[in-house]
């Protein structure tokens, strides 16, 4: 950070947004991480505004038909130390390292439950494996884990409503389709914790 800006309030403008609405208009704040605070992410920023900019998305002759980028503006008071490093983000980051650590923790938790299997769906454009998780009962102990076993249901009403020797139905859920969609990674982490947990709904 240049010493010239140390301790000063700086106004930032980002003008390449295309969506007309954002949560910034409802009170959401910028995510900030500083080296002096061990890069712990927190919400910060003042005078946050979101709206139309003067930058056209593509040249056009008729002004009434022109489409413009939207812009985000916010102010932030920089620390007095010029040696500090500051990072700004739209949302709390969710890194690939965090994903890897979470999946290892999830596998350890599910070892006794026999309910989780991980394979690779595909590779990303950069060559990174995209994990595919299958969550169901008996996934390692029974080669026909996709078949409904009536012995798994202790409740009498459950036995009445389920057909015998029929295969389980599948529900496919995906998240983080685009690199910048970090909120979906946090949502998926919470969803996986719920599915593999001990709650009545999960069991």
Strand partners, 10: 76
pLDDT of residue 82: 72
pLDDT of residue 29: 94
- In the chain, which stretches have pLDDT less than 50? none
pLDDT of residue 158: 67
Interval 153-197: pLDDT, tens: 777 666 667 666 688 888 999 988 888 889 999 999 999 999 998
| Helices 182-195 + 96-110 axis angle, to 10 | 0
Please report, for the chain, the start and end positions of each structural domain, with discontinuous segments joined by +: 3-89, 96-195
Q: What is the pTM of this model?
A: 0.78
Q: What angle do CA 6, 7, 13 make, to 5 degrees?
A: 80
Structure tokens at 5: 């800006």
Structure tokens at 19: 């969506």
Residue 113 makes CB contacts below 8 A (sequence gap 6+) with: 196
pLDDT of residue 163: 67
pLDDT of residue 168: 87
Give the integer Cα–Cα distance in Å for 104 and 109: 9
């Amino acid at each position: 950070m240049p010493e010239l800006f140390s301790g000063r309030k700086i106004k930032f403008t980002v003008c390449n947004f295309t969506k007309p609405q954002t949560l910034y208009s409802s009170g959401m704040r910028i995510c900030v991480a500083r080296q002096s605070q061990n890069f712990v992410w927190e919400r910060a920023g003042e005078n946050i505004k979101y709206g139309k900019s003067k930058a056209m998305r593509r040249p056009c002759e008729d002004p009434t038909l022109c489409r413009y980028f939207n812009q985000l503006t916010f102010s932030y008071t920089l620390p007095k130390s010029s040696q500090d490093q500051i990072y700004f983000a739209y949302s709390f980051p969710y890194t690939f390292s965090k994903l890897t650590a979470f999946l290892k923790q999830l596998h350890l938790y599910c070892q006794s439950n026999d309910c989780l299997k991980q394979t690779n769906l595909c590779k990303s454009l950069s060559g990174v494996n995209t994990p595919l998780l299958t969550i169901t009962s008996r996934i390692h102990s029974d080669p026909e884990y996709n078949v409904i076993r009536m012995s798994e249901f202790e409740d009498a009403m459950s036995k009445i409503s389920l057909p015998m020797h029929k295969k389980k139905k599948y529900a496919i859920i995906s998240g983080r389709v685009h690199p910048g969609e970090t909120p979906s990674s946090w949502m998926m982490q919470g969803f996986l914790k719920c599915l593999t947990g001990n709650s009545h709904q999960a069991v």
